[in-house]
Amino acid sequence: MSYYIHAAKFFLKNVTEIGGYLEVTDDGKFGEYLPETAKPDGDIVEQSGKLIAPGLVDTHIHGLLGHDVMDNDWDGIETMSKNLLKAGVTSWLPTTLTGSFDQLNEVCKTIAAHAGDESGAKIQGIYFEGPYFTTKHKGAQNPKYFKNPSEQEYDAWQTSADGLLKKIAIAPEREGAADFTRYATADGTVVALGHSDATFEQAKACVEAGATV
């Protein structure tokens, strides 16, 4: 059953409304907005003085409250989900670090097996940050597992993830990076460029192949 929120300010698509009532539909989405002078007949949740905005989407998060995606522990991911929601995040991409093929594959399997069961912020996919990076700007990534992009590995991970691998970051100077970008983006995966010492031309080749982040 839908209901209305009464609050001080609403941040809506392309407009900010002062006061009034916002419908929350049966599926939990924002519906009709009504001004202060048009009080609705339905159930009203009073949030006087509060600001109401769409949920945030976190597309790059490795861990929270002592839990890490690379721990491959669904209970930890569930804890992250619940606490992200408390911070206003309603959708997120659990994000990996560079690891072995098998380690990343197991993370894919775990998330695929449980996605949809989370009780807080909803998992919209998995973000692979690595392992196709280079050493100079490795940051916190483990260079032991750096390698050139592989379409075969990507396919295996995507199968284990049940199609949930939605974003992957690569270094464009790696051999085969542009071809890999073309392959992954054709599958609907967002390709980002990072942890890289690429030249302009190397980066440009990946952008022209479909990299967008």
Q: What is the pLDDT of residues 53-74, one digit of tens each?
A: 989 999 999 999 999 999 999 9
Per-residue pLDDT at 13: 87
Mean pLDDT estimate for the chain: 96
Q: Cβ neighbours of residue 176 under 8 Å, at least 6 residues apart?
A: 148, 149
Q: Cβ neighbours of residue 71 under 8 Å, at least 6 residues apart?
A: none
| Angle separating helix axes 151-160 and 101-114, nearest 10 degrees | 30
Per-residue pLDDT at 157: 99
Cβ(89)–Cβ(57) under 8 Å? yes
Per-residue pLDDT at 67: 98
Per-residue pLDDT at 1: 80
